[in-house]
Amino acid sequence: MQHPSVIPQEIAQFNALAAQWWDETGPMRPLHMMNGPRAAWVGERVRNLVGPGVEILDVGCGAGLLSEALAKQGFDVLGIDAGAEVVEAARSHAQGQELNLEYRNATAEELVAEGRTFPVVTALEIVEHVADPVAFLRSLAALLEPDGVLFLSTLNRTPKSFLTAKLGAEYILRLLPVGTHDWKKFVTPVELGHYCREAGLRLADTAGLSFSPARRRFEVSRDLSVNYLAMAVAG
């Protein structure tokens, strides 16, 4: 089976960071800073549109930042990732916590082959790292139950994102390891909408995820020029 969600070099790069993933001052610091507002944005919409405590599939879960945050909101979460080492880091961090949370070293395509479906699927900060975005979104769509909801987040391909998310974060501030992102693979909201339509989905909501220098934190905003969140539904 082909896996449009997998680029081996990307998996190796993130596996290499597995031991540092939960260090809030380490190479995943930006994800830690974004995790609270993005998990809140997703959780609120899931409760309003689908219901509390439903099952969520978190695709590309890494070491489990979003998966744990959603499980702590009372959802039943399955986190999957193609990287074996990051999945082990996720399992290790979750040990001893009484959460409805499970992890698997697997890809979206493998779960499609198993015939699995879920009322909610999340794939945050993944689209810009996959080999074939449209094929990947088709796999995510196939994992949705009828009337299911898909949540995505990615980076917009703008001059501002090049300066802040690429040059600034990787080379100047050293918030991320150099080479974490390829700016040419960033996805504009228009492109994401096109990819969703190709996969039989419709973008239903978007929001920016912006860093506030004054408050030293990320906040949900209307500014989609760098990081942004999206919700898609069948149709």
Q: pLDDT tens digit string along 180-215?
A: 667 788 999 999 999 999 999 999 999 999 988 888
Say if residue 20's pLDDT is above 50: yes
What pLDDT is recorded for position 95? 96
Span 83-99, average pLDDT: 97
pLDDT of residue 198: 97
The end-to-end CA distance of the chain, in Å, is 27
State how beta strands 227-234 and 201-212 pair: antiparallel
Mean pLDDT in residue range 143-159: 95
Residues contributing to the annotated binding site for S-adenosyl-L-methionine: 38, 60, 81, 124
E-only strand ranges, the chain: 55-59, 76-81, 101-105, 118-124, 144-155, 201-212, 217-221, 227-234
- The pLDDT score that the predictor gives to residue 10 is 83
Name the token pair of 30: 């930006």
- Residue 103 pairs in a beta bridge with 79
- The DSSP symbol for 109 reads H
Range scoring the smallest mean pLDDT among 77-91, 130-144, 170-184:
170-184
What's the whole-number mean pLDDT along residues 148-175? 74
Beta strands in 84-226 (DSSP E): 101-105, 118-124, 144-155, 201-212, 217-221
At the topology level, CATH places domain 8-234 in Rossmann fold (3.40.50)
Q: Provide the pLDDT for residue 66.
A: 98
One-letter amino acid for residue 116 of the chain: R
Both tokens assigned to 173:
């501030």
Cα 151 to Cα 79: distance, rounded to the nearest angstrom: 14
Binding site, annotated residues? 38, 60, 81, 124
